[in-house]
Amino acid sequence: MKALVTGTAGFIGSHLAERLVKDGATVIGIDSFADFYPRATKERNLAGLRGSAAFSLVESTLADARLSDLLEGVTHVFHLAAQAGVRKSWGQAFRVYTENNVDATQALLEACTGRPIERLVYASSSSVYGDSVELPMREDARLQPVSPYGVTKLAAEQLCYLYNVSYAVPTVALRFFTVYGPRQRPDMGFSRFLRAAARGETVTQFGDGRQTRDFTYVADVVAAMVAAAAHGRPGGVYNIGGGSRVELLAVFDLIRNLTGQPVRVEQTAARPGDMRDTYADTTRAKVDLAFAPDTTLEQGLRAQYEWMAAEHD
């Protein structure tokens, strides 16, 4: 395998690139090092890859990159580059999301047209579902995102489908459900909660704390991407969830048990765009990809906490 991984300096992208190199692949990573969070964090994500002869890095946006050159000889594309964050996707910032999530995806798909690529695996999101679908969420549900971020992720998904149908680009979309683990972005929930507990600080709780999420450990997500690259149905969509649907208040209890410290919360109103509940039906992924997450929420939280403690030291 010769793989192009977009967003390779990010949380999931760096884990994926390490797994691919370990499996014997040659990996070209591309990342713009956008300032959504500190560059130093992303540089640390790449520390395990920098010394590998099988890995090379291009610092660029997809819009500015010479994609025709980067795709030369590439057999697989893993597209993770995106502007993240539900709550920041409103207002004037929406243009950044359309540029990085929709326009960039279209440019990549266009560059892949006519090339002998075996799979293009796109990292989508449970945010495409919205709040009007039955639980557990099935891939054939009616999609009504409740955030601008979700709209852009769904638009990119549809572009993947269009390029598969019209130009036979072998796209596979994976809808990730609340990914966590070592290297999780510092703005994400578990990172903020664990950091606050360790420091005795207060975190903001949006809503009543009864909202639920299907938490998915990063190594299980990476395994799903590798499987999709080999066995995913071109034009297909798969839910990737960890099977750990838990209330936010229960997460605070787990963190207290793990750290020995309470999570001090300041409750405020729920924010526009925040989904009430997520829960993945992963039947399709189990059948086609042999997807079987094997990390419990307790195990995964402990791994993330230990990683954060080591990074702080």
Of the candidates 277, 250, 311, the residue with the CA atom closest to the CA atom of residue 134: 277
Candidate list 149, 180, 238, 305, residue with the active-site label: 149
The pLDDT tens digits for 212-254 are 999 999 999 999 999 999 999 999 999 999 988 999 999 999 9
Helix 189-199 with 248-259: angle, nearest 10 deg = 40
CA atoms within 13 A on the CB side of 220: 30
% residues pLDDT > 70 (the chain): 99
Per-residue confidence (pLDDT) for residue 37, from 0 to 100: 87
Which residue would you say has higher pLDDT here, 285 or 313?
285
C-alpha distances in Å from residue 134, one per residue of 142, 164, 191, 269: 10, 28, 29, 24
Q: Does 17 score more than 70 pLDDT?
A: yes
Fold of 2-177+217-241+279-293: Rossmann fold (3.40.50)
Per domain, the residue ranges of the chain are 2-177+217-241+279-293
Annotation marks residue 122 as catalytic: no
Q: What is the model's pTM?
A: 0.97
% residues pLDDT > 90 (the chain): 95
Q: Does 123 score more than 70 pLDDT?
A: yes
Distance between CA atoms of 143 and 309, rounded to whole angstroms?
A: 39
What is the pLDDT confidence band of residue 113, given thresholds at 50, 70 and 90? Answer: very high
Segment 18-32 mean pLDDT:
98
Segment 199-220 mean pLDDT:
96
- Residues near 142 by Cβ (< 8 Å), separated by ≥ 6? 132, 133
Bridge-based pairing of strands 2-6 and 76-79 is: parallel
Mean of the per-residue pLDDT values of the chain: 96
Segment 19-43 mean pLDDT:
95
Segment 132-136 mean pLDDT:
96
Q: What's the residue count for the chain?
A: 313
Segment 265-271 mean pLDDT:
93
Instruction: Please report the DSSP string for 117-135 in residue order.
Output: -SEEEEEEEGGGT-SSSPS
